[in-house]
A and B are shown apart, each in its own frame.
Chain A
Amino acid sequence: MPGTSTVQDIELIVEKKPSNGGGGDLPPVDRDGGGDDGKRPRRGKPSPKRYYTGMALGIVSILMFFMALASAFLVRRGSGDWVPVHIPMLMWINTLVLLTSSATLEISRNRLAKGQLDGYKNLWLVTTVLGVLFLIGQVVAWRMLAAQGIYLASNPASSFFYIFTGAHALHLLGGVAALLYVAKRNFDEAQITRSVAAEVTSHYWHFMDALWLFLLALLYLGK
């Protein structure tokens, strides 16, 4: 069917819009373009299992990344030039903000499950805002440390402090992007349903939350 392949091509781009910033918003596809001509039966959405598996494995990978750094941290701590970094007070407050965001995310998904779309949307937004607040808080905390003269290059302990908090912030930024993506995306024609997308995103978000607690404990106890 040469007539339909161009349309499929466009649809392919729209459908598989890369989440890493490839393309931006494309105009809606013309529905009468001959694709849905009844010749090919339209199946139901494919099993969402792959998204759960993918996220679980992704989490394992990210965990390995941080475990590698943590092992380097523990080994390096034994060397003589270690000057402990004191965690700024603000980071503890940030922690509370992040924990709250996990709670609002769960409540939001609960609303979605009950079909209360407005409640879901509002709480999803609250979660996103809390995530952004956490990130702003982290940046402010870094600036406070810098004001005390503690930079990335100051000593091994400060190097690790910045790479742990920095790498976590970068991963959380990805989480915020995912939250926004799920909020904005039109799920009518997607391969994935809204509740699956919300659940998979929530797995990542809670993992980031737990990871932060682990890193905080490591930095606090290991200084």
Chain B
Amino acid sequence: MVTYDDGSPHSAPASLWGRYVFALHHKTIGLQYLWLALASVLVGMVLSTLLRVQSSWPDTAIPFLTNLQHTPERYAAIRLLHGSLMVFFVLTAAPQLGFGNYLLPLQIGASEMAFPTLNMVSLWTTVASLGGITASFFTAPETGVNVWLASAALFSLGALLSALNFTVTTIDLRTEGMTLPRLPVTVWAWFLNAILSMLIFSVLLAGCASLLSDRLLGSQFFSFASFLAAQPQNLVRQGSLPVLWQRLFWYFAQAEVYVAMLPCFGIITHLVATFSRKPVWKERLVVLALCGVGLMGFCVWGYHMFATGMNPYAPLVFAVLASSLGVPAAFLLASWLGTLWDARLQLSCALLFSIGFVSLFIAGGLSGIFLARHDLRSAAVSEDFVIGHFHLVMGVAATFAILAALFFWFPKMFGSRLNETLGKVHFWATFAGVYLIFMPMHWLGLLTQSNLLPDASRANLAAAGGPIRTLVTVATIGTVAAQILFVVNFLQAFLRRGTLQGNNPWRATTLEWSVPSPAPFNNFGAGKPTVYRGAYEFHTGEGNDFAPQHLAPELLAQQYR
């Protein structure tokens, strides 16, 4: 007879099959998502280096891709693979599905997600989608687009199922005393993001299904001819596959911007408060701002999709997208700075990466203002500017949040700490590197398409862009190489797993630190924790540094007497 507390078994399944492949347990599944993200990010970085090398030194022989310059489709395909791996399996999977699956039940005092089987199904749907997207790269362009679409549909399905799971878990499985105002901001972010995902990914799924049916069965939901007619002539090449691939990708990526950023906001808020040893500044407003990001995300993107009948060939609305994030983002920024203000900071790697996130978010956000003016954008800047902008604000910033989270929760997951010194070297190398890559890219974008200037001076300026292009490429190679430091650090700590002294290395308040590190299989054992206070009570009483959520007031008083 299986005994249940709330429906989960008490020990790990003994067979390898049950423990790893068809694992139902939330921590195992969370780690599986993280491994998936790690593999994707490494491949994605190598691809971006290839793209840079190709654009700087087109004559270089690159393995597999030597005939790049002759086939724009291949170049577009590499870009698409780089983008899909990074956006789907790193930016979307890691902060929400990876860390979320691992930590959400722990932080709300549950021993499992609401529907473990569903969780396993969504993991393997995501894995299948990764396989499909990789396969689409190796097939002929025409089939490739279809395979990519089917994989994107699978990804949407997987995301829908896990969003359902996250939402129900947060609503129904909170432990005693874990009222909504006491939820850690991370949980709020995962929860709100899950609600947003449920709405967005249903629409994406419908779009994928109809588009696929158009391409395979000849139905006429979106007509391809009208799309071609709407394209600028210089973009339409050879059946316009490169343009099609680019558009398809952005159709998804627009939605993903919100889905990827929301959990990062939660993680950064959480870490900034913990390492400032201060409560989150205006915590209620932060939660409201997170709601705002979600709501606006859906309204803007949803409006676009509904107004154009979900047509993925419709023009981009980067403009509206960029400006809609402004107000809630400003709130969040104010709160992070307000928390950091006048705090006795503990400059660990996790906080460094969090501050790095804030810096990148501000830098990228500022160039977003230019993009938000659609007229300005088409007149004065080209693709390089856009690429520089969204890589700073979304790609790199989110990656910094993921790294911050990894430094923070590595002890919880594996029972050992990442090396702080190596981590700091890695941080500064990466931080300098990404600015060296993406800041000059903005400049390149301004140079190459300054329609405001006469033709002759524009040609001169474009020629001047050559050295900048080379600088960007060299910086890319250097930054990618610097990631070896991270891999070494990760492997070192991973090999030392289980050696951590004590449960709570960061003196953090939330429930996951009330159990041993790494967390035991059944999380909280037979009993469930009770929550007595909010998630960010640092220095609230005399001489007390922090008040863990699970400690009863009388026990807390004893501890700090």
* Interface check A207, CB cutoff 8 A: no
- Please, which residues of chain A bring their CB within 8 A of the CB of B121? 18, 20
Known: A71-B306, A72-B210. A50 touches B172 (CB 8 A): yes
In Å, the complex CA distance between A160 and B213 comes to 11
- Please, which residues of chain B bring their CB within 8 A of the CB of A189? 1-2
- Please, which residues of chain B bring their CB within 8 A of the CB of A191? 4, 7
In Å, the complex CA distance between A18 and B120 comes to 10
* Interface check A81, CB cutoff 8 A: yes
* Interface check A49, CB cutoff 8 A: yes
Contact B213 A50, beta carbon cutoff 8 Å? no
In Å, the complex CA distance between A155 and B1 comes to 58
- Please, which residues of chain B bring their CB within 8 A of the CB of A54? 114-115, 164, 168
In Å, the complex CA distance between A9 and B209 comes to 37
Known: A18-B117, A54-B114. A46 touches B206 (CB 8 A): no
* Interface check A117, CB cutoff 8 A: no
* Interface check A69, CB cutoff 8 A: yes
- Please, which residues of chain A bring their CB within 8 A of the CB of B117? 16, 18-19
Interface of A is mostly: helix
Return the chain A residue nearest B305 by Cβ: A68
Contact B207 A68, beta carbon cutoff 8 Å? yes
- Please, which residues of chain A bring their CB within 8 A of the CB of B15? 6, 9
Which of B2, B5, B13, B202 is within 8 Å of A62, CB to CB? Answer: B202
Known: A9-B15, A16-B24, A62-B202. A160 touches B221 (CB 8 A): yes
In Å, the complex CA distance between A68 and B311 comes to 11
Binds B, one of A33-41, A120-128, A211-219: A33-41
* Interface check A65, CB cutoff 8 A: yes
Contact A41 B309, beta carbon cutoff 8 Å? no
Contact A60 B14, beta carbon cutoff 8 Å? no
Contact B2 A8, beta carbon cutoff 8 Å? yes
Q: A189 → chain B, closest Cβ, in Å?
A: 8
* Interface check A114, CB cutoff 8 A: no
Contact A156 B221, beta carbon cutoff 8 Å? yes
In Å, the complex CA distance between A122 and B353 comes to 63
* Interface check B471, CB cutoff 8 A: no
Report B1-39 CB contacts with A as 1/0, cut-off 8 Å. Answer: 111111101111111001000001000000000000000
Q: B470 → chain A, closest Cβ, in Å?
A: 45
In Å, the complex CA distance between A20 and B117 comes to 10
Contact A159 B220, beta carbon cutoff 8 Å? yes
Q: B210 → chain A, closest Cβ, in Å?
A: 6
* Interface check B555, CB cutoff 8 A: no
Q: B2 → chain A, closest Cβ, in Å?
A: 5
* Interface check B219, CB cutoff 8 A: yes
| A residues 176-209 touching B (CB-CB < 8 Å) | 189, 191
Return the chain B residue nearest A69 by Cβ: B206
Contact B14 A50, beta carbon cutoff 8 Å? no
Contact A50 B309, beta carbon cutoff 8 Å? no
Which of A12, A67, A74, A162 is within 8 Å of B2, CB to CB? Answer: A12
Contact B213 A47, beta carbon cutoff 8 Å? no
Contact A74 B309, beta carbon cutoff 8 Å? yes
Contact A65 B206, beta carbon cutoff 8 Å? yes
In Å, the complex CA distance between A60 and B2 comes to 33
Contact B14 A9, beta carbon cutoff 8 Å? yes
* Interface check B217, CB cutoff 8 A: yes
Interface size class of B (residues with CB under 8 A): 35 or more
In Å, the complex CA distance between A43 and B115 comes to 19
Q: A180 → chain B, closest Cβ, in Å?
A: 18
In Å, the complex CA distance between A65 and B14 comes to 40
In Å, the complex CA distance between A198 and B323 comes to 47
Which of B24, B114, B160 is within 8 Å of A12, CB to CB? Answer: B24
Contact A81 B9, beta carbon cutoff 8 Å? no
* Interface check A116, CB cutoff 8 A: no
* Interface check A118, CB cutoff 8 A: no
Contact A64 B164, beta carbon cutoff 8 Å? no
- Please, which residues of chain B bring their CB within 8 A of the CB of A53? 114, 167-168, 171-172
* Interface check A58, CB cutoff 8 A: yes
* Interface check B218, CB cutoff 8 A: yes
Q: B521 → chain A, closest Cβ, in Å?
A: 11
Report B156-193 CB contacts with A as 1/0, cut-off 8 Å. Answer: 00001001100111011100000000000000000000
- Please, which residues of chain B bring their CB within 8 A of the CB of A5? 11-14
* Interface check B526, CB cutoff 8 A: yes
Known: A46-B7, A57-B198, A61-B198. A9 touches B164 (CB 8 A): no
Q: A86 → chain B, closest Cβ, in Å?
A: 18
Known: A12-B2, A159-B219. A40 touches B10 (CB 8 A): yes
Return the chain A residue nearest B156 by Cβ: A65
Contact A9 B1, beta carbon cutoff 8 Å? no
Contact A81 B306, beta carbon cutoff 8 Å? no
- Please, which residues of chain B bring their CB within 8 A of the CB of A36? 1, 3
Return the chain B residue nearest A65 by Cβ: B202
* Interface check B310, CB cutoff 8 A: yes
Return the chain A residue nearest B3 by Cβ: A40
| A residues 9-41 touching B (CB-CB < 8 Å) | 9, 11-13, 15-16, 18-20, 31, 35-36, 40-41
Return the chain A residue nearest B526 by Cβ: A40
Known: A9-B14, A53-B171, A65-B202. A153 touches B3 (CB 8 A): no
Q: A194 → chain B, closest Cβ, in Å?
A: 17
* Interface check A147, CB cutoff 8 A: no
In Å, the complex CA distance between A180 and B406 comes to 45
Return the chain A residue nearest B220 by Cβ: A156
Q: Top 10 A-B pairs ranked by shortest CB distance? A: A75-B309, A36-B1, A153-B218, A159-B219, A64-B202, A72-B309, A68-B206, A68-B203, A71-B306, A65-B202
| Residues of B participating in the A interface, judged by any CB pair closer than 8 Å | 1-7, 9-15, 18, 24, 114-117, 120-121, 160, 163-164, 167-169, 171-173, 198-199, 201-203, 205-207, 209-210, 213-214, 217-221, 223, 305-311, 526
> Could you write out 16 A-B pairs with CB less than 8 Å apart?
A8-B9, A8-B11, A12-B18, A40-B10, A43-B5, A46-B4, A47-B172, A67-B306, A68-B206, A68-B305, A72-B206, A72-B221, A152-B218, A153-B218, A153-B220, A163-B213
A11-B1, A18-B117, A163-B209 known; 17 new pairs, CB 8 Å cut-off, are A8-B2, A11-B2, A16-B116, A20-B121, A46-B7, A50-B169, A53-B171, A58-B164, A64-B203, A68-B207, A71-B306, A72-B206, A72-B210, A81-B223, A153-B219, A156-B220, A163-B219
